[in-house]
Amino acid sequence: MNHTEMTAVAIADAVASGKLSAVEVAKAHFERVRALEPKIKAFVTLLEEDAMKRAAAVDAKRARGEKLGRLAGVPVALKDNILLEGVETTCSSKILKGYRAAYDATVVERMKAEDAVFIGKTNLDEFAMGSSTENSAFFKTANPWDTDRVPGGSSGGSAAAVAARMAPLALGSDTGGSIRQPASFCGVVGLKPTYGLVSRFGLIAFASSLDQIGPFARTTEDAALLLSVIGGHDARDTTSSLKTPGEALAGLKGQIKGLRIGLPKEYFIKGTDAEVEGAVLAAVETLKKLGAVVKDVSLPHSSYAVGSYYIVAPSEASSNLARFDGIRYGLSSPESKSLEEVYEATRGAGFGPEVKRRIMLGTYALSSGYYDAYYGKAQRVRTLIARDFDDVFREVDVLATPTAPTAAFKFGEKVDDPLAMYLSDVFTIPSNMAGNASISIPCGLTRLGLPIGLQLIGPAFSEGTLLRAAGALENASPFPKLNG
């Protein structure tokens, strides 16, 4: 039995029943990590010793006759902007090199309570700012389908780890598409939950009104399992919803006959690769054959989403990243003679070019005389985008779109053209601006053998409906699997 090909649900069931040991499962995944990691470079930090201890503790718990948790012995990878107590957390930035988390993120606490085994922290674009994982201060992560290409970003390490079967589950964060776009590029399931469904406590903030933690998996069932564990109210996050994961996942089972699917014309535009559009429309046709009802709809303010996002997100980043000052933690400049010199030297050496670019954009947008003209206006546009979604969800249950305009691109292809890189998230950003639920699922391959992602968008707390539709497609047209 190849343990690395098993789903998270199958692993948890086998470990809980005693058919497999958690130690066996962990060993198999670390063997695969050792074989593939030199080429993929998905992990910033590997936790083999800690993982083996945790796996042994799960087996000992079963031996004592105690009931195991829902993630019993399941290996999980964590994006390196999510805190794991005692473990270095860098956000793939030099400015946090050497910082060890003093506490667990809420999502980590909840996975620990369900007997998950953490195998490592994954690479990302520095402070989650990017769409290719080329902005990491340490190294680039490669796409397992073609190692000359990017895995997407910013959660590229998490997506690559799941795609390469180094972990059946991983967590990422999604501010403008950072779960869904790499899921599309790497041929896995990536779910951005409704804003507030999953606690952000212990997530190092990029843009607080947009950030959301969510799962990567190879099946919709596994994604639903992880969401059911990490979701739910947390008093430590003031934006946390009172909704439970069970409420969000209602409607997960059953058929999709009569499900109303909208095709927004603003998401099928010039510049989208013809193979991508063809695969997405073919997937929609499959859903139609399963009983879904498809109609054309419009989200007229979507075209303003990217522009308004790149005011709102950098403005919030400018505020959030002010805490990295060389005084409290992380990198510092011992030669500096004044507080101003400490700030300048630390941030100059510690932040990379993309982070500096966004901090400057945000600081300018928030500065005296420009706040109303830029940040205030962008927030008003955001309201219009949210209203468009509210209006269209009176007509349909979900929207179907491409996740990204193209399949994975080659290293260096867009890194020197920030605008081209920003447009990689043109189809994912509106969902973050509105705070609703969305998922990317693989729906085919290009002629070059690269995965294509279908995005399904639903209203707030419609995760169950999205996963039901995605699962129906998964069963009718099994997702292509990565060989090797």
Q: How far apart are CA 460 and CA 196, in angstroms?
A: 10
Q: Where are the beta strands (DSSP E) in 389-476?
A: 398-402, 437-445, 451-458
Residue carrying structure tokens 């998490």: 158
For strands 451-458 and 437-445, give the pairing.
antiparallel
Rounded average pLDDT over 77-84? 98
Q: Is the pLDDT of residue 439 over 80?
A: yes
**Secondary structure (3-state) at 472:** helix
Q: Is the pLDDT of residue 85 over 90?
A: yes
Rounded average pLDDT over 232-239? 97
Q: How far apart are CA 414 and CA 482, in angstroms?
A: 25
For strands 293-297 and 213-217, give the pairing.
unpaired
Strand partners for 43: 122
Q: Which residues contact 431 (CB under 8 A, 6 or more apart)?
A: 192, 437, 438, 457
* DSSP class of 256: -
Among 44, 43, 69, 46, which Cα is nearest to 58's? Answer: 69
* DSSP class of 406: S
Strand partners for 172: 214
Residue 232 C-beta-side C-alpha neighbours within 13 Å = 13
Which comes out higher in pLDDT, residue 368 or 3? 3
Hey, how many other C-beta atoms are within 10 angstroms of the C-beta on 343? Answer: 17
What is the domain partition of the chain in residue ranges? 3-259+399-476, 303-379
Q: Is 358 exposed, middle or buried (0-12, 13-18, 19+ CB in 10 A)?
A: buried
What DSSP string runs through 84-133? -TTSB--TT-GGGTT-B-SS--HHHHHHHHTT-EEEEEE--SGGG--SSS
Q: What is the mean pLDDT of the chain?
A: 95
CB of 126 closer than 8 Å to CB of 352: yes
Residue 339: per-residue pLDDT = 77
Find the distance separating the first CA and the last CA of the chain, reported in whole Å: 15
Phi and psi (nearest 5°) for 213? -80, 145
Residue 417: per-residue pLDDT = 84
Confidence of residue 338 (pLDDT cuts 50, 70, 90): confident
186-231, pLDDT tens digit by residue?
999 999 999 999 999 999 999 999 999 999 999 999 999 999 999 9
149-171, pLDDT tens digit by residue?
999 999 999 999 999 999 999 99
Confidence of residue 423 (pLDDT cuts 50, 70, 90): confident
Q: Which residues contact 240 (CB under 8 A, 6 or more apart)?
A: 196, 199, 200, 233, 234
Percentage of the chain exceeding pLDDT 90: 86
The CATH classification number of 3-259+399-476 equals: 3.90.1300.10
Percentage of the chain exceeding pLDDT 70: 100
**Residues involved in catalysis:** 79, 154, 178
Confidence of residue 336 (pLDDT cuts 50, 70, 90): confident
Among 410, 412, 392, 474, which Cα is nearest to 440's? Answer: 474
367-417, pLDDT tens digit by residue?
988 889 999 999 999 999 999 999 999 999 999 999 999 999 999 999 888
113-125, pLDDT tens digit by residue?
999 999 999 999 9
* DSSP class of 172: E
- When mean pLDDT is compared across 173-177, 257-261, 324-328, the lowest value belongs to 324-328
For Cα atoms 227, 437, 149, give the angle at the middle one, nearest 5 degrees.
80
What DSSP string runs through 208-221? TTT--EEEEESSHH
Helices marked H in 290-426 — which ranges? Answer: 305-320, 339-350, 353-366, 377-392, 418-422
Residue 131: per-residue pLDDT = 96
Q: How far apart are CA 189 and CA 187, in angstroms?
A: 7
Hey, how many other C-beta atoms are within 10 angstroms of the C-beta on 145? Answer: 24
User: What is the token pair recorded at 49?
Assistant: 């010793």
Q: Is the pLDDT of residue 340 over 90?
A: no
CB of 462 closer than 8 Å to CB of 280: no
